[in-house]
Structures are given as structure tokens and as C-alpha cells.
């Protein structure tokens, strides 16, 4: 049972309002160590500089999409085991399958509730405290 305050998290989304919504949702669940990036390239730089425990990434982004980010994270030794939740605007079965093939731990469909986010996180980390 990991303490949410100890899970270092990176949010990667090109929409500032979505990053803020995810941040607020995580904070409601007790997360404290949260940083963000506005696209996949900035997200990858952040991962390389300081690998997080969790990445929540949008799929559709400029410069490097979520799938490209996931592949790069899995190929980067220090972050290869980082939990990765793919965020998508629709329940695209093919996208979800491709993300799982490349090592995504779970996915979340926008819009989402705090309860749905918690459920997805608990499938990755177990019961959160």
C-alpha cells in the first residue's frame, strides 16, 4: 500500500486545463509530488532528468505523442519500470491495445472522475493510502 504523497508523478498533456484537472484530482487523492509537461518531448526530458514513479500521459500531443513517449520511457533504463497510464479522449480499442503492447499499465478515458482515476491507480499500485 503506497502512500500517495510518496508517489512522484508526471502529467504530460498539451492542454493546460487538462493538466490542471489531473493535478487537482491527484491532489484530492493525496498526491503531493506532481510535475507536468506540455508535450511528449518535454515529458521525456523531464523523465530523463528525474524519473517519476508514475506518468499520466495524453495520447494525442504535438512533437511526440503518448505512444512515442511510452516507447521512449520503456527504452530508458532508469525509467523502464515507471508506471504509465495512457489518457485518451475516447475508448479507442486499437489505441488501448497498442499502448498495452508497448507496456502501458492502464488507460483512462476523458472525461473522468476522481473515483475513476483512483480505480485506475489502484490497479497499478494496489490500495492507496
79 secondary structure, DSSP code: G
* Higher per-residue confidence, 10 vs 126: 10
Candidates 85, 89, 122; CA nearest to 104 is 85
Average pLDDT on 40-56 reads 97
- The rounded Cα 114 to chain-centroid distance in angstroms is 14
pLDDT in tens, 53-99: 999 999 999 999 999 999 999 999 999 999 999 998 776 778 888 89
Residue 51: pLDDT band (50, 70, 90) is: very high
Q: What is the pLDDT of residue 67?
A: 95
pLDDT digits (tens, 9 = 90+) for 9-39: 999 999 999 999 999 999 999 999 999 999 9
Spatial CB neighbours of 9, under 8 Å, sequence gap ≥ 6: 26, 31, 33, 34, 35, 52, 53, 54, 55, 56
User: Distance between CA 84 and CA 101 in Å, rounded?
Assistant: 12
- Classify the C-alpha dihedral 115-30-91-79 as positive or negative: negative
Q: Is the pLDDT of residue 123 over 90?
A: yes
Whether the CA torsion 7, 53, 81, 105 is positive or negative: it is positive
Which of 39, 77, 81 is closest to 61 using CA atoms? Answer: 39
pLDDT at res. 91: 66
Amino acid at each position: 500500500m503506497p502512500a500517495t504523497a510518496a508517489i512522484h508523478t508526471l502529467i504530460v498533456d498539451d492542454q493546460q486545463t487538462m493538466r490542471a484537472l489531473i493535478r487537482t484530482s491527484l491532489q484530492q487523492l493525496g498526491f503531493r509530488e506532481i510535475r507536468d509537461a506540455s508535450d511528449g518531448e518535454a515529458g521525456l526530458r523531464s523523465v530523463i532528468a528525474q524519473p517519476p514513479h508514475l506518468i499520466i500521459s495524453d495520447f494525442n500531443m504535438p512533437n511526440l505523442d503518448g505512444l512515442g513517449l511510452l516507447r521512449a520511457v520503456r527504452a530508458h533504463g532508469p525509467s523502464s519500470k515507471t508506471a504509465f497510464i495512457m489518457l485518451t479522449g475516447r475508448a479507442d480499442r486499437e489505441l488501448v491495445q497498442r499502448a498495452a503492447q508497448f507496456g502501458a499499465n492502464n488507460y483512462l478515458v476523458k472525461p473522468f472522475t476522481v473515483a475513476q482515476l483512483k480505480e485506475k491507480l489502484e490497479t497499478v499500485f494496489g490500495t492507496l493510502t
